[in-house]
């Protein structure tokens, strides 16, 4: 248990309050039919949030902690998801999932980790067991909750769903939730509901085999025999063939950076390859000429890489074709591939002991498409004319070649032995790579996009690749199956550019497989190991499918997920599960398309006002800090996204003003309290630009009680800190002056200010600087000298001096750093903060903070309205001015306000209070002493 001696009174009160608000509610219903007892669970998830109020408490202003998940568990809006579930399911079930979640708070005094949730059932009753670590003390098999499954379980085929089953805390579970020796929850407390999605093994009933019709057989070569007397032996010569001239020209383009390399004993002159050492047979009935050597074609940094070896000419009464041993760009060996037909009619001349072939037309077959496969799709289709065939063959007693049946039309070519795809249902592979990586690419940091090409398509949560070839024979998947298409991840203005193409699954047994793919600049890489034992297997005639196979990243694959040399994920990390099927060759997918992208607005305000007329202002006089209403016409009816920008230095005050049906736009907002007095221009910028020149007077000086020893505690933004200190940015932060850091907040101390006792307007100013750095200096952001301007008891603005630029610009080699003084960075909801008092010292904790338009313009990594870390303000009221009084009764408008009242030593001597107050006021007037808050002088863009 989390124990500490001398538990403070506020903690005891907290425990009582927490227990008081907990209620138990269960909704019994009728349970669906259970799956067969003892059915194996092959995969699935258990989802549970533990307890919502506990999660909020950990991350709230009291515990000031954090919640982190351990792989493969992931966080969700309503809790946590634990994947890779295994076990058995039925009336008596035992299903365990993987992953962990850790709760840390109170500077490490509260530290709880739960892992490997296990759902153990008996009829409609169940218990949820976990392994736990409490402040370093490990415990196994803790029955943390009782779960009511009545009416919460449904099944459909091999799928079982547990939907929001009510859960209550057990006595053993209550022992996990304690702080400083006191339990936070009692046994019987309602916890978050438990859900699960499970996939069961398919039980196949034995059946009599169905009769099948014999399928078409591939033509086979006759066993070698001694040639008859009229068959002449080939004793030498060569065949010359250029593949395709336009393809060779393509390789020479700069962006392809390709090459053709001859493989001995063949030679290549740049236009065609000569395959030498011819041997075989030539007669009027059969021609079978075999050559040696080959040619290798490469390009696109290794993504395109295929080899043609041992060119062979085969002609008889039924066929006239070119064959070769081909290794395609996917790494598949296609032996004796009949890749093209050749028409020798009128092209073969016989003279004594030699045969000369001159310009014989060559046409690509369907099977030959695989030879030209790049990024999952063939570059040329069946029926494409290739370079003609030439050759000189030495044959003693040569004759004319046999007369051949008409050359096969496009699409009619015989499949090669290298592609064993059968008719029937097509094969495909579906994979999302990794959900967190997809989110990162299209998120506010990488600001990138995801696109598919070459026949791949998007499925919403992943990408589909159609089968292009296989060496497997369904219902067995053993062998290599290749899939066409590519998915490209592009981010950081191209600094991160990853293409995964031509995925292939190599099945080595009924329980294991390897997923490989071609990667940009790295060739083919084994990316992940697949656990087929945990996948759901199903079959049809000529087709087999494995669904939801867990995929774990290999050491070689870890390099795929990296940015500037730093890996995102460690070897062994779970990737998105893989579903693949082996069947017939799939038809081409959708056209190239961008399927996901960051929605971004790269607009930046012009340096000078684009208009000075066209706006009207309701106020005649404007002071810094005043609320004003401006309007202008001429915009499109219903136009959105109109920006409000204040000059001299451009400050974005709003970004999404909407015009009415008449094209008139109106904005009501606040002129920054820190704005320097003088002439400024307020503008609306949209389809048209409108403006007005205003003379801004100095803000009214706040007269009131002196505030001293002020302190501002603020974490800035937790996700930004995590990014800076993570493996991607590999950065850090430093503090200067009166700023300091202690996890998880920055503190600015020694602040001073003033507070009006009547209006509750006030200001607090702090000195000190925080500097964030990362990406080897590309990220460099400074916030300094924060100031809090309190409009009243309920609202305030937090301003900072900001120096920095956008990370994307830095990644693109641009420098858009700028310095802006007194940026109204965040809006503070004082009314939602928790107020406490200790003598003359007031603390307002947990104040919600949101990014302003001006803050987003300066710090564009986050959008306007984004939640920042909460703020805590502490200050001391001068004794000679006033003292802190009790807060108003709950339920009044000012319940969260801090009241300041004259000194009142006792409640029984009201007349003394009034006299004392009057005397104090008179003395103050005679002395003519008021406390005036010194003003800040806002700066301009550096």
Asked if residue 413 is part of any domain, the answer here is no
Q: What is the pLDDT of residue 931?
A: 36
DSSP single-letter state for residue 894: T
DSSP single-letter state for residue 659: B
Write the pLDDT tens digit of every residue in 244-254.
988 888 788 76
* 498 and 582 fall within a common domain: yes
Q: What is the pLDDT of residue 14?
A: 39
Asked if residue 217 is part of any domain, the answer here is no
Question: Distance between CA atoms of 64 and 244, rounded to whole angstroms?
Answer: 68
Q: What is the pLDDT of residue 594?
A: 64
Q: What is the pLDDT of residue 886?
A: 36
pLDDT band at residue 413, thresholds of 50, 70 and 90? very low
Least confident piece of the model among 339-348, 450-459, 501-510: 450-459
> Is pLDDT larger for residue 203 or for residue 873?
873
> Is pLDDT larger for residue 30 or for residue 78?
78
Domain boundary among 597, 625, 640: 597
Asked if residue 225 is part of any domain, the answer here is no
With a CB cutoff of 8 Å and minimum separation 6, the contacts of 339 are 322, 323, 324, 326, 364, 365, 367, 368, 371, 416
pLDDT band at residue 17, thresholds of 50, 70 and 90? very low
Domain boundary among 177, 200, 223: 200
Asked if residue 352 is part of any domain, the answer here is yes
> Is pLDDT larger for residue 767 or for residue 173?
767
CB contact at 8 A, 477 and 626: no
Asked if residue 208 is part of any domain, the answer here is no
Give the DSSP letter string of 257-306.
--EEEEETT-EE-SS-EEEEEEEEEE-SS-EEEEEE-EEEEEEGGGTEEE
| Residue 18 parent element (H or E) | helix 9-20
Instruction: Residue 458: give the domain boundaries.
Output: 428-597
* 775 and 832 fall within a common domain: yes
Q: What is the pLDDT of residue 423?
A: 52
> Is pLDDT larger for residue 896 or for residue 349?
349
Most confident of 25-39, 102-116, 226-240, 612-626: 612-626
DSSP single-letter state for residue 319: -
* 658 and 590 fall within a common domain: no
* 534 and 659 fall within a common domain: no
* 801 and 848 fall within a common domain: yes
Q: What is the pLDDT of residue 182?
A: 59
Question: Distance between CA atoms of 453 and 394, rounded to whole angstroms?
Answer: 47
Write the pLDDT tens digit of every residue in 511-542.
999 999 988 767 788 999 999 999 999 998 88
Q: What is the pLDDT of residue 284?
A: 85
Write the pLDDT tens digit of every residue in 787-799.
999 988 899 999 9
- Of 386, 387, 388, 381, the closest CA to residue 411 belongs to 381
For 823, the token pair is 């940026």
Does residue 436 surpass a pLDDT of 50?
yes
Q: What angle do CA 596, 597, 599 make, to 5 degrees?
A: 135
Q: What is the pLDDT of residue 458?
A: 86
* 767 and 859 fall within a common domain: yes
Does residue 274 surpass a pLDDT of 60?
yes
* 756 and 884 fall within a common domain: yes
CATH number of residue 680's parent domain: 2.60.40.10
The 3-state DSSP class for residue 913 equals: helix
* Stretch 251-262: mean pLDDT: 81
* 41 and 129 fall within a common domain: yes
Least confident piece of the model among 13-17, 466-470, 650-654: 13-17
Percent of the chain with pLDDT over 90: 38
Supply the Cα-derived Rg of the chain in whole angstroms: 38
* 587 and 654 fall within a common domain: no
Report CA-CA distances (Å) from 44 to 117, 631, 870. 12, 57, 37
What is the sign, positive or negative, of the torsion defined by CA atoms of 287, 293, 298, 304?
A: positive
Asked if residue 940 is part of any domain, the answer here is no
Q: What is the pLDDT of residue 773?
A: 87
> Is pLDDT larger for residue 776 or for residue 132?
132
* Stretch 310-326: mean pLDDT: 90
* 20 and 168 fall within a common domain: yes
Does residue 174 surpass a pLDDT of 50?
yes
Query: Where does 60-193 have alpha helices with state H?
Result: 171-174
Most confident of 109-118, 296-305, 452-461, 695-704: 109-118
With a CB cutoff of 8 Å and minimum separation 6, the contacts of 7 are 180, 181, 182
pLDDT band at residue 564, thresholds of 50, 70 and 90? low
Backbone angles phi, psi at 849, to 5 degrees: -130, 135
Least confident piece of the model among 247-261, 356-370, 584-598: 584-598
Q: What is the pLDDT of residue 816?
A: 65
Average pLDDT, rounded, for the chain: 79
| Residue 694 parent element (H or E) | strand 689-697
Does residue 412 surpass a pLDDT of 50?
no
* Stretch 629-654: mean pLDDT: 88
For 866, the token pair is 């984004």
Buried b or exposed e, range 800-824, using 16+ CB within 10 angstroms: bbbbbbbbbbbbeeeeeeebbbbbb
Helix, strand, coil share (%) of the chain residues, nearest 5: 10, 50, 40
Q: How many residues does the chain have?
A: 942
Domain boundary among 545, 562, 597: 597
* 788 and 833 fall within a common domain: yes
- A 10 A CB-CB count for 843 gives 17
What is the sign, positive or negative, of the torsion defined by CA atoms of 919, 925, 928, 932?
A: positive
* Stretch 553-579: mean pLDDT: 81
Write the pLDDT tens digit of every residue in 31-54.
334 444 478 999 999 999 999 888
* 495 and 514 fall within a common domain: yes
Q: How many domains does the chain have?
A: 5
Asked if residue 604 is part of any domain, the answer here is no
Asked if residue 412 is part of any domain, the answer here is no
End-to-end CA distance of the chain: 55
Does residue 599 surpass a pLDDT of 80?
no
Percent of the chain with pLDDT over 70: 78
* Stretch 896-903: mean pLDDT: 42
């Amino acid at each position: 248990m989390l124990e500490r001696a001398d538990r403070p009174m506020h903690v005891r009160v907290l425990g009582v309050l927490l227990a008081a608000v907990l209620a138990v509610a269960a909704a019994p219903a009728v349970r669906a039919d259970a799956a067969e007892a003892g059915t194996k669970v092959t995969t699935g998830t258990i989802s549970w949030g533990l307890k919502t109020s506990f999660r909020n408490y950990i991350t709230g202003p009291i515990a000031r902690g954090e919640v982190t998940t351990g792989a493969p568990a992931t966080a969700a809006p309503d809790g946590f998801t634990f994947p890779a579930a295994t076990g058995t399911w039925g009336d008596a079930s035992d299903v365990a999932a993987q992953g962990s979640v850790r709760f840390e708070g109170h500077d490490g005094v509260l530290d709880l980790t739960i892992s490997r949730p296990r759902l153990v059932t008996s009829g409609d009753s169940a218990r949820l067991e976990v392994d736990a670590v409490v402040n370093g003390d490990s415990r196994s098999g803790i029955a943390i909750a009782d779960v009511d499954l009545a009416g919460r379980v449904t099944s459909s085929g091999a799928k079982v769903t547990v939907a929001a089953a009510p859960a209550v805390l057990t006595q053993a579970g209550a022992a996990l939730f304690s702080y400083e020796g006191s339990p936070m929850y009692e046994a019987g407390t309602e916890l978050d509901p438990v859900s699960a999605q499970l996939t069961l093994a398919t039980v196949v009933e034995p059946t009599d085999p169905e009769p099948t019709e014999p399928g078409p057989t591939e033509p086979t070569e006759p066993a070698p025999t001694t040639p008859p007397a009229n068959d002449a032996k080939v004793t030498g010569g060569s065949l010359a063939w250029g593949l395709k001239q336009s393809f060779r020209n393509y390789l020479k383009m700069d962006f392809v950076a390709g090459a053709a390399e001859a493989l001995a004993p063949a030679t290549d002159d740049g236009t065609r390859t000569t395959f030498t050492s011819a041997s075989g047979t030539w007669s009027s009935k059969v021609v079978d000429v075999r050559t040696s050597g080959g040619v290798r074609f490469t390009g696109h940094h290794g993504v395109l890489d295929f080899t043609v070896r041992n060119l062979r000419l085969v002609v008889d009464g039924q066929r006239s074709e070119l064959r070769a041993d081909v290794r395609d760009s996917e790494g598949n060996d296609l032996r004796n591939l009949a890749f093209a037909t050749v028409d020798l009619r009128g092209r073969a001349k016989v003279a004594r002991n030699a045969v000369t072939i001159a310009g014989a037309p060559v046409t690509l077959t369907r099977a030959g498409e695989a030879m030209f496969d790049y990024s999952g799709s063939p570059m040329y289709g069946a029926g494409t004319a290739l370079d003609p065939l030439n050759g000189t063959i030495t044959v003693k007693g040569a004759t004319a070649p046999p007369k051949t049946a008409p050359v096969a039309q496009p699409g009619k070519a015989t499949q090669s032995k290298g592609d064993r795809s059968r008719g029937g249902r097509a094969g495909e592979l579906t994979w999302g790579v990794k959900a967190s990586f997809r989110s990162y690419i299209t998120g506010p940091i990488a600001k990138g996009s995801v696109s598919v090409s070459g026949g791949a398509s998007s499925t919403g949560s992943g990408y589909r690749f159609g089968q292009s070839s296989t060496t497997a024979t369904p219902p067995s998947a053993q062998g290599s199956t290749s899939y066409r298409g590519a998915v490209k991840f592009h981010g950081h203005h191209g600094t991160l550019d990853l293409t995964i193409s031509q995925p292939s699954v190599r099945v080595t047994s009924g329980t294991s497989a390897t997923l490989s793919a071609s990667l940009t600049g790295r060739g083919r890489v084994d990316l992940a190991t697949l656990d087929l034992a945990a996948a759901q297997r199903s079959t049809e005639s000529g087709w087999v499918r494995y669904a939801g196979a867990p995929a774990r990243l290999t050491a070689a694959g870890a390099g795929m997920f990296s940015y500037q040399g730093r890996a995102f994920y460690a070897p062994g990390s779970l990737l998105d599960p893989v579903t693949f099927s082996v069947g017939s060759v799939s038809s081409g997918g959708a056209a190239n398309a961008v399927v996901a992208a960051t929605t971004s607005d790269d607009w930046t305000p012009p340096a000078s006002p684009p208009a000075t007329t066209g706006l009207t202002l309701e106020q005649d006089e404007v002071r810094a800090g005043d609320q004003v209403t401006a309007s202008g016409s001429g915009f499109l009816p219903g136009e959105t996204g109109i920006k409000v920008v204040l000059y001299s230095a451009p400050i974005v005050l709003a970004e999404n003003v909407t015009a009415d049906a008449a094209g008139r736009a109106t904005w009501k907002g606040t002129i920054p309290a820190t704005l320097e007095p003088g002439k400024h221009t307020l503008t609306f910028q949209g389809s048209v630009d409108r403006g007005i020149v205003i003379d801004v007077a100095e803000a009214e000086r706040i007269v009131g009680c002196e505030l001293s020893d002020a302190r501002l505690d603020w974490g800035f933004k937790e996700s930004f800190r995590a990014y800076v200190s993570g493996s991607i940015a590999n950065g850090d932060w430093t503090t200067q002056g009166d700023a300091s850091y202690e996890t998880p907040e920055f503190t600015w101390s020694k602040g001073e200010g003033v507070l009006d006792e009547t209006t509750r307007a006030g200001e607090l100013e702090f000195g000190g600087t925080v500097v964030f750095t990362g990406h080897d200096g590309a990220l460099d952001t400074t916030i300094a000298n924060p100031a809090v301007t309190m409009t009243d008891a309920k609202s305030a603005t937090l301003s900072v001096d900001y120096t920095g630029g956008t990370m994307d610009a830095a990644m693109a080699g641009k420098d858009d750093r700028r310095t802006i003084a007194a940026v109204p960075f965040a809006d503070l909801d004082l009314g939602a903060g928790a107020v406490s008092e200790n003598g003359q010292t007031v603390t307002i904790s947990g104040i919600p903070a949101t990014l302003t338009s001006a803050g987003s313009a300066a710090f564009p990594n986050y959008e306007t309205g984004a939640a920042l870390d909460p703020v805590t303000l502490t200050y001391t009221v001068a004794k000679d001015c006033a003292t802190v009084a009790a807060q108003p009764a709950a339920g009044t408008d000012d319940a969260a306000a801090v009241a300041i009242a004259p000194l009142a030593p006792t409640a029984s001597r009201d007349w003394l209070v009034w006299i004392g107050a009057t005397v104090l006021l008179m003395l103050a007037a005679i002395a003519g002493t008021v406390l005036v808050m010194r003003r800040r002088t806002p700066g301009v863009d550096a």
